[in-house]
Structure 1
Amino acid sequence: MGNLLAYSGIVTKLRAMEAKLLKPEDFEEIASLQSVPDAVNYLRENSSYAYVLNLLDESRLHRGDIEKILTRELYHDYSKIYRFCGLKQREFLTLYVKRYEIDLINYCLRIVINRYAEPFDLNYKREFFDKYTQISIDKMITSRTTDELIENLKDTEYYEPLHRLRDNAAVTLFDYDLTLSQYNFSTLWKKRKKILRKNELELYTRVCGSKIDLLNLQWIYRAKKYYSMEPANIYTLLVPIHYRVSPEEIKAMIEAPGIEEFEALLRKTSYARHYDFGQKLTIEQMYTECLDRLYRSERRQSPYSIAAITTYLFLKEEELRKLTTALECIRYGLSSGETLAYIGGKTQ
């Protein structure tokens, strides 16, 4: 009864918000369009993005401007959910928002490490980050070197892991990205028990643990297929947490002599049992499909719980990923079939 009372208002709000998400047929229609302005007009007339897209000048329809608009819509949804939440739920959302903080830090690292001439363009994030996160946009935009950027994170939890890494020789952007990713998941795994209790802890443990497993499987696959990395180097890429994929299974996949042997071992995992290899989907799409199935299953099982919030945010983030990909495909003149393949991850 307690959860029903705590979540009834939030769930009603989330259902109304989810009803406005794009349907598969919307993406089919968007994929068939011939230009980005056509796609933007479709979204203006048929989606919840109408208001924010109407603020966008027709001459500013390149990827960066559209991504800003879509990102602001995600932040707007997060803010609406936050306002409906109680103290405990807000505590969880503060944990959830770390993914957005890490995305921002990685963006800033790319700017300073690659020495881009263009300035930081973070004003559209300022209101959200000032209100909901520990990161100061004003400090970030003054950074011109990696050292300055890390020092400007001194009052945040990210300073220590980045500071330790900075002192190593020949540190790359990839190293920073990997360190932040590993730190994020390790922190989520530790803090979940302090914030969540009983059923909600079980629900989130399944989602977080599965995400870590699936990301580790992706890293092993990419390391073997695209980089031919040695086993010892592959181990350094992984989040050191095992949920449903045991250390023994991980070891066998890392030390498999080739991709075929890796995939044979992958088929034996609990995740692959729910995955149709005949669909010819990429491992990235396997990751997304497994998470989609898991989020929806958790919400069906416990509709009045934290699962309602995490499922909606997952669906919204996936919608933005698909939209950004679709618009980029249209920009480069890909066919409808090719665009849908990129959105869905199916191989040709």
Structure 2
Amino acid sequence: MSLFRYSGLSTKVKAMRGRLLSQEQFREMSDLHSVPEVLSYLKKIPSYEKALGDRDETHLHRGAAEALVKQSLYYDFGKLYRFADLEQRVFLDDYFMRYEVIFLKNVLRYLLDSQEDLAEIDLSAYRAVFERHSLMDPHVLMGAESVEGLIGLLQDTPYGKALAMVNKAGGANLFDYEAALDMLFFKQLWQDVKKHLKKQDLMVIQRSAGLEADTLNMQWINRAKKYYHMAPADIYAFLIPIHYRLSTGQVKQLVEAESIKEFMDVLEDTGYGRFLEEADNSQLEKICGRLMDKVHQLNMRTAAYSVACLDTYLYEKEQEVNKVIKVIECVRYGLPADRIKEYLAS
């Protein structure tokens, strides 16, 4: 049954995966000397041509350029949605919350951490896909002049309630708001897939979403201890309440470790320990990224004719977009090509 249901979609995804940027293309972009050159290069690639359109790359500010690159995520989501059957669309409807969170994080960054002119951001691609899959209006949300104003615009949504709780506590920064959105997304996705997916599809998504929840929790605990020196009680408030391979007891040990060394010692005794041999905590983010790559490869290898084809492609596309934005940032700051290539490989 799965083979029949997913044969057409799997073929579509295989073709789209074949058009993802290659390592050679990233190396070529790393050799370019300016952001307009990078954008001009991307315009020649079909998956970014539509997003960048006829915009003059020589006059695009950083934020506008990054927003246009991110729009390719929405275009690809739309392609898959149009090709999917009714049951597959239920999963994509659940998954779309991830893109709402990405968009809201962008708005929060502009409000808290950016001097970019919001008028430079082209919202046309956002509006088209949000009109079909969301109750939020990107144009209205981009008009918020403060975090409080954004919360007011979202007051009738789960996002508004989550952000309001953070804001009410006082002294919140961008990390606090982003953590609240991530926690909300994973909790909701975990509940939705249990209701909507059948056995094999459910196993696939619980494996990838569960691992992501574990790895995010590990990284957040590490950052909270290393950079913010947060008390255990405060760290618990930021954790995703999902336990996949990390038990409740192991999370408690990680949170209450009295030093980074003790934190790493505890982590090495978990199911993830074999991936951490001879590693230090500075490599944790890179290791977590590799684990996420591996779980999606595993899903495609063992369950290609399932929701894995959607989940894996959307993951790979998001990773690609993040790497493109890294290249834009590195070129913007004048990093040597060899350094950029080394940065992308890490």
Q: TM-score, normalised by structure 1?
A: 0.89
C-alpha change, 1:280 and 1:245, in structure 2 (3 Å) is closer
Measure, in 2, the Cα distance between the counterparts of 1:336 and 1:113.
31
Distance 1:131 1:295 in 2: 27
Distance 1:130 1:316, change over 3 A: same
**Deviation sequence 1:221-269 (CA, Å, 0-9, x none):** 1112222222222222211221101122222222223222222222232
Counterpart of 2:70 in structure 1 is 71
C-alpha contact 1:21 1:47 (8 A) present in aligned 2? no
User: In the aligned structure 1, how far is the partner of 2:2 from the partner of 2:267?
Assistant: 38
- Partner Cα distance (1:107, 1:41) in 2: 24
- 1:45-84 pair list within 5 angstroms: 45=44, 48-53=47-52, 55-84=54-83
Amino acid at match of 1:123: L
- SS of alignment partner, residue 282 of structure 1: helix
Q: Distance in 2 between matches of 1:265 and 1:33?
A: 44
Measured after TM superposition, the shift of residue 130 of structure 1 is 1.4
Return the alpha-carbon distance in structure 1 between the equivalents of residues 160 and 35 of structure 2: 40
Query: Aligned-pair distance for 1:176?
Result: 2.8
Say which is worse superposed, 183-192 or 157-166, in terms of deviation. 157-166
Q: Distance in 2 between the 1:123 and 1:46 partners?
A: 21
Question: Which residue matches 1:123?
Answer: 123
**Per the alignment, do residues 197 and 58 of structure 1 end up closer, same or farther by CA in structure 2, a change over 3 Å counting?**
closer
Q: What is the CA–CA distance in structure 1 between the aligned matches of 2:237 and 2:345, rounded to whole Å?
A: 30
Q: Is the CA contact 1:22–1:47 (under 8 Å) kept in the aligned structure 2?
A: no
1:312 is the counterpart of 2:313: yes
Q: Match for residue 216 of structure 1?
A: 217
CA contact (8 A) 2:97 2:185 kept: yes
- Match of residue 240 from structure 1: 241
The one-letter amino acid of 1:188's match is L
Q: What is the deviation of 1:5?
A: 1.8
Structure 2 distance, partners of 1:64, 1:166, is 25
Distance 1:50 1:171, change over 3 A: closer
Separation in structure 2 between the aligned mates of residue 341 and residue 170 of structure 1, nearest angstrom: 37
Q: Per-residue deviation at 1:153?
A: 1.9
Partner of 1:16: 15
After TM superposition, give the deviation of residue 306 of structure 1 in Å: 0.4
Instruction: Work out whether 1:158 is the aligned partner of 2:159.
Output: yes
Of the structure 1 ranges 122-131 and 214-223, higher mean CA displacement relative to structure 2 is found in 122-131
Deviation, structure 1 residue 50: 4.0
Q: Out of 241-250 and 144-153, give the one that drifted further.
A: 144-153
For residues 139-158 of structure 1, the aligned pairs below 5 Å read 139-158=140-159
2:162, 2:184 within 8 Å by CA — same for their partners in 1? yes
Q: Higher mean Cα deviation, 143-152 or 306-315?
A: 143-152
Structure 1 residues 344 and 224, CA gap change in structure 2 (3 angstroms) = farther
Report the CA distance between 1:280 and its aligned residue: 9.3
Residues 153-208 of structure 1: CA distance to partner in whole angstroms, max 9, x if unpaired? 24433233334444444454443322222111111112211111111111111111
SS at match of 2:58: coil
1:66 and 1:147, CA in 2 relative to 1: closer, same or farther beyond 3 A?
Answer: closer
| Counterpart position of 1:323 | 324
Instruction: Check the 8 A contact 2:123/2:139 in 1, yes or no.
Output: no
Q: Contact 1:130/1:137 (CA < 8 Å) preserved in 2?
A: no
- Asked if structure 2 preserves the Cα contact closer than 8 Å seen for 1:150 and 1:162, the reply is yes
Identity of aligned residues (%): 36
Q: Compared with structure 1, are the counterparts of its residues 68 and 114 closer, same or farther at alpha carbon in structure 2 (3 Å cutoff)?
A: closer
Q: Which runs of 5+ in 2 are unaligned?
A: none
Alignment of structure 1 residues 262-281 onto 2, 5 Å: 262-274=263-275, 277=278
Greater fraction helix: 2
Cα deviation for residue 96 of structure 1 reads 0.8
Q: Which amino acid aligns with 1:90?
A: R
Aligned partners of 2:90 and 2:196 also within 8 Å: yes
> Is 1:87–2:105 an aligned residue pair?
no
Between 107-116 and 244-253, the greater mean CA deviation after superposition: 107-116
Give the Cα separation in 2 of the matches to 1:324 and 1:113.
20
Unaligned runs of 5+ in 1: none
Separation in 1 of the partners of 2:240 and 2:81?
29
Given that 1:122 and 1:141 are in contact with CA atoms closer than 8 Å, whether structure 2 keeps it comes out as: no
Shift of 1:314: 0.6
User: Which residue is 1:228 aligned to?
Assistant: 229
Q: Deviations for 1:34-60, whole angstroms, at most 9, x for unmatched residues?
A: 333333344344664345445231422
Distance (whole Å) between structure 1 residues aligned to residue 292 and residue 123 of structure 2: 32
Provide the rounded CA distance (Å) in 1 between the counterparts of 2:37 and 2:117.
29
